[in-house]
């Protein structure tokens, strides 16, 4: 019976028809600026992918067109700032981006703020209304939720919300109903209104996995991270040993000890994927062992959706890791010369990202000069400047005889995103074959020189 259900769901997915969606808007005061529509490749790995992009005109107007098959949790991005909304097939959206005067580092700032109008705005408005009611309840009852033995207040709230937000079965209404259902499930869980085994049976076991619903994946990741710890299905050393063996059956056998998980292969596969991904940075296991097991799941998981999630986790976990390809760039030097990443192949390259208005960024230059002189031709330094006038930086370098290349970002802000630059100054060390050695690398006053020596030795040994 389960195989038949899985076949029907797969057939429905194949038969789904994408629909055109138009997105337009205005960002006053932002002429010729990059606008993107960004979605997750899946709601579990949260790996970003750009679906469409354009640039604003001289008045700040923009428009995008994209084909959409299912309701998605999405982001509109202006430059590097993003604001979230829910994107539906066949709907059209109008954005009025609000000007903000709050400045900070690249990522340490408010999300993109906008007013949103849509031909059919029920989904976005009702999720917004539900979130407001839910957050007010959490704020007003935070002590009660954790401490009270009588959970009637929580049960009443859950039932009221389910009644107020219970709708039909078209995609929009189904998405909203499930969004509400799994957000409320997290409340029942954290308040201990229901036992973990009851939560598992009621919300996950032998039920459709909602790969597209952000509330489902939020609750899934939180619940099973805690569930595997509290149920004590295995000792920590057993997990480490199973991962180190690179044998999928050994890792899976730990989860099969739970009779509920043993009864649902697709659910257990997804739990296994998130368990492995969650241990990628565990110092007691080798990253290569995690990646080997995830690769097995990508190739042989029984669920095609689980295969896709495993693949996306591999991409996300290996991004900017040692040995991965460095994001390429093509930038202009102060004398107008076009400079490419490939121009530095054969030497270690230290990328130094600075802001034109960041005076503290200049304090590191003397130590950078000392490091460059110590390594001679084995190491090149490249400073990349973003934002405003570069004259201050260039004057400072000339006065102090600092002679490494300086490039202007010239609006290529996606390079900052590609290297995950979150503040200034930022450093990234590249190997001679244009792969990542260390990203981010520490500043000069935090033993950068020792790390450079270590990665030089590592590269030579691997070679």
pLDDT at 95 over 70: yes
Same domain, 110 and 149: no
Give me 254's structure tokens.
């730990």
Distances in Å between the Cα of 4 and the Cα atoms of 7, 10, 11, 305 are 5, 10, 10, 16
More confidently predicted of 280 and 16: 280
Same domain, 127 and 114: no
- 253-277: per-residue pLDDT in tens? 999 999 999 999 999 999 999 999 9
The lowest-confidence range among 93-107, 307-321, 326-340, 405-419 is 93-107
What domain range includes position 408?
330-462
Domain count for the chain, please give it. Answer: 4
Same domain, 283 and 354: no
Residue 170, pLDDT score:
58
Q: Which of 243, 425, 418, 415 minimizes the C-alpha distance to 319?
A: 418
Q: 148 falls in which pLDDT band (50, 70, 90)? A: confident
Residue 290, pLDDT score:
98
**Phi and psi torsions of 227, nearest 5°:** -60, -45
- Choosing from 268, 297, 318, the residue where a domain stops is 318
Residue 15, pLDDT score:
45
The lowest-confidence range among 106-115, 178-187, 368-377 is 106-115
Same domain, 249 and 345: no
Taking residues 329-346, what's their average pLDDT?
Answer: 89
Same domain, 296 and 349: no
Taking residues 145-171, what's their average pLDDT?
Answer: 85
Question: Is residue 48 in some structural domain?
Answer: yes
Taking residues 122-137, what's their average pLDDT?
Answer: 96
pLDDT at 9 over 60: no
Residue 171, pLDDT score:
57
Same domain, 362 and 414: yes
Question: Is residue 222 in some structural domain?
Answer: no
Question: Is residue 88 in some structural domain?
Answer: yes
Taking residues 426-436, what's their average pLDDT?
Answer: 97
Question: Is residue 6 in some structural domain?
Answer: no
Residue 412, pLDDT score:
87
Question: Is residue 298 in some structural domain?
Answer: yes
Question: Is residue 323 in some structural domain?
Answer: no
CATH number at residue 88: 2.60.40.1120
Same domain, 337 and 309: no
Q: 106 falls in which pLDDT band (50, 70, 90)? A: low
Same domain, 74 and 174: no
Strand-pairing partners, residue 36, are 53, 77
Question: Is residue 285 in some structural domain?
Answer: yes
Residue 434, pLDDT score:
96
pLDDT at 358 over 90: no
Three-state SS letters, the chain: CHHHHHHHHHHHHHHCCCEEEEEEEECCCCCCCEEEEEEECCCCCCCEEEEEEEECCCCCEEEEEEEECCCEEEEEEECCEEEEEEECCCCEEEEEECCCCCCCCCCCCCCCCEEEEECCCHHHHHHHHHHHHHHHHHHHCHHHHHHCCCCHHHHHHHHHHHHHCCCCCCHHHHHHHHHHHHHHHHHHHHCCCCCHHHHHHHHCCCCCCCCCCHHHHHHHHHHHHHHHHHCCCCCHHHHHHHHHHCCHHHHHHHHHCCHHHHCCHHHHHHHHHHHHHHCCCCCCCCHHHHHHHHHHHHHHCCCHHHHHHHHHHHHHHHCCCCCCECCCCEEEECCCCEEEHHHHCCCEEEEEEEECCCHHHHHHHHHHHHHHHHHHHHEEEEEEEECCCCHHHHHHHHHCCCCCCEEECCCCCHHHHHCCCCCCCEEEEECCCCEEEEEEECCHHHCHHHHHHHHHHHHHHHC
Q: Which of 284, 309, 289 minimizes the C-alpha distance to 298?
A: 309
Residue 13, pLDDT score:
45
* pTM of the complete model beyond 0.85: yes
Residue 104, pLDDT score:
54
Taking residues 55-60, what's their average pLDDT?
Answer: 96
Same domain, 251 and 310: yes
Question: Is residue 9 in some structural domain?
Answer: no
Please say whether the beta carbons of 344 and 329 come within 8 A. Answer: no
pLDDT at 89 over 60: yes
pLDDT at 227 over 80: yes
User: What proportion of the chain, given as a percentage, has pLDDT over 70?
Assistant: 93
Taking residues 418-435, what's their average pLDDT?
Answer: 95
What's the half-sphere exposure (Cβ side, CA atoms, 13 Å) at 139? 6
Q: Which of 53, 126, 62 minimizes the C-alpha distance to 88?
A: 126
Please say whether the beta carbons of 86 and 23 come within 8 A. Answer: no
Same domain, 286 and 305: yes
Same domain, 335 and 417: yes
Distance CA 27, CA 76 (A): 12
- Choosing from 105, 120, 135, the residue where a domain stops is 120
Residue 45, pLDDT score:
97
Distance CA 115, CA 424 (A): 31
- 24-48: per-residue pLDDT in tens? 999 999 999 999 999 999 999 999 9
CATH number at residue 391: 3.40.30.10
Residue 411, pLDDT score:
79
Taking residues 319-345, what's their average pLDDT?
Answer: 91
Same domain, 408 and 445: yes
- Choosing from 318, 340, 372, the residue where a domain stops is 318
Q: 172 falls in which pLDDT band (50, 70, 90)? A: low
């Amino acid at each position: 019976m389960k195989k038949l259900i899985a076949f029907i769901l797969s057939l429905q997915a194949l038969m789904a028809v994408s629909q055109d969606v138009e997105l337009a808007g205005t960002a006053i005061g932002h002429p010729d600026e990059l606008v993107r529509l960004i979605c997750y490749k899946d709601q579990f790995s949260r790996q970003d992918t750009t679906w469409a992009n354009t640039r604003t005109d001289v008045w700040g107007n923009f428009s995008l067109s994209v084909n959409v098959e299912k309701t998605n949790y999405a982001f509109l991005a202006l430059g590097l700032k993003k604001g979230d909304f829910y994107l539906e097939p066949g709907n059209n959206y109008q954005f009025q981006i609000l000007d903000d005067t709050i400045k900070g580092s690249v990522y340490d700032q408010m999300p993109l703020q906008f007013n949103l109008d849509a031909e059919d705005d029920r989904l976005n408005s009702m999720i917004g209304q539900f979130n407001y009611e839910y957050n007010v309840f959490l704020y007003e009852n935070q002590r009660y939720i954790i401490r009270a033995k009588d959970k009637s207040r929580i049960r009443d709230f859950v039932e009221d919300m389910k009644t107020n937000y219970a709708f039909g079965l078209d995609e929009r209404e189904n998405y909203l109903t499930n969004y509400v259902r799994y957000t409320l499930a997290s409340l029942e869980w954290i308040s201990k209104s229901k036992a973990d085994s009851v939560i598992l049976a009621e919300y996950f076991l032998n039920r459709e996995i909602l790969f597209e619903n952000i509330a489902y994946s939020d609750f899934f990741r939180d619940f099973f991270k805690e569930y595997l710890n509290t149920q004590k299905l295995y000792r920590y050393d057993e997990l480490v040993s199973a991962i180190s063996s690179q044998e999928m059956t050994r890792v899976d056998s730990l989860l099969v000890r739970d009779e509920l998980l043993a009864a649902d292969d697709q659910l257990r596969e997804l739990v296994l994927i998130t368990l492995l991904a969650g241990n990628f940075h565990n110092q007691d296991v080798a990253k290569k062992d995690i990646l080997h097991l995830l690769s097995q799941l990508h190739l042989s998981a029984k669920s095609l959706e689980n295969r896709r999630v495993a693949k996306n986790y591999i991409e996300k976990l290996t991004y900017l890791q040692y040995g991965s390809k460095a994001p390429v760039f093509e930038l202009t030097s102060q004398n107008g010369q076009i400079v490419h990443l490939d121009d530095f192949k054969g030497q270690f390259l230290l990328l130094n990202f600075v802001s034109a208005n960041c005076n503290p960024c200049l304090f590191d230059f003397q130590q950078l000069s000392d490091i460059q002189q110590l390594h001679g031709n084995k190491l090149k330094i490249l400073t990349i400047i973003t934002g405003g006038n570069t004259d201050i930086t260039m004057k400072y370098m000339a006065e102090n005889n600092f002679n490494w290349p300086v490039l202007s970002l010239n609006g290529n802000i996606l390079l900052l995103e590609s290297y995950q630059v979150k503040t200034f100054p930022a450093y990234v060390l590249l190997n001679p074959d244009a792969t990542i050695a260390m990203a981010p690398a520490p500043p000069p006053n935090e033993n950068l020189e020792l790390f450079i020596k270590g990665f030089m030795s590592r590269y030579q040994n691997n070679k």
